[in-house]
Amino acid sequence: MNLGDLPWTRVKATVDDGRPVVAILPLGAVEAHGPHLPLNTDIIISDGMARRAATLLQARDVEAFVLPAIAYAPAHYASEFVGTISISEATARALILDIARSLKGQGFACLALANSHFDPANVAMLRSLAPECAAIGLPLAFPDFTRRALAAQLTAEFVSGACHAGQFETSLVLADRPELVDDPARAGLADNPSSLVTAFAAGATNFTEAGGPHAYFGSPAGATAQEGEATFAIMAEALAASVVEAIR
Residue 115 has pLDDT above 90, yes or no: yes
The highest-level CATH class for domain 3-247 is alpha beta
Mean pLDDT within 13-39: 96
| pLDDT score of 248 | 86
Percent with pLDDT over 70 in the chain: 100
Reduced DSSP (H G I as helix, E B as strand, rest coil) percent helix, strand, coil of the chain, to 5? 50, 10, 40
CB 11 within 8 A of CB 65: yes
Crossing angle for the helix pair 225-247 and 41-59, to the nearest 10 degrees: 60
State the Cα–Cα distance between residues 47 and 69, nearest whole angstrom: 7
Spans of all domains in the chain: 3-247
| pLDDT score of 75 | 96
pLDDT tens digit sequence for 52-108: 999 999 999 999 999 999 999 999 999 999 999 999 999 999 999 999 999 999 999
Mean pLDDT within 21-30: 98
| pLDDT score of 18 | 86
Q: Which helix (H) or strand (E) holds 21?
A: strand 21-27
CB 75 within 8 A of CB 91: no
Mean pLDDT within 4-21: 95
Hey, which residues does 5 pair with through a beta bridge? none
Hey, which residues does 63 pair with through a beta bridge? 21
Instruction: Please report which residue ranges of 66-221 form alpha helices under DSSP H.
Output: 89-106, 120-127, 129-136, 148-151, 156-160, 167-176, 183-187, 196-201
Least confident interval from 15-19, 159-163, 243-247: 15-19
Mean pLDDT within 162-166: 97
The confidence band for 35, taking pLDDT boundaries of 50, 70 and 90, is very high
String of b and e for 111-142 (b: at least 16 CB within 10 Å)? bbbbbbbbbebbbebbeebeeebeebebbbbb
CB 244 within 8 A of CB 193: no
Q: If you ran DSSP here, which 8-state letter would residue 70 be given?
A: B
What rounded mean pLDDT belongs to the chain?
A: 96
**Angle 210-175-195 (CA atoms, 0-180°, nearest 5)?**
15
State the Cα–Cα distance between residues 169 and 182, nearest whole angstrom: 13
State the Cα–Cα distance between residues 71 and 106, nearest whole angstrom: 23
**Better pLDDT: 57 or 248:** 57
Instruction: Name every residue whose Cβ is closer than 8 Å to that of residue 137 and which is 6 or more positions away in sequence.
Output: 104
pLDDT tens digit sequence for 176-224: 999 999 999 999 999 999 999 999 999 999 999 999 999 999 999 999 9
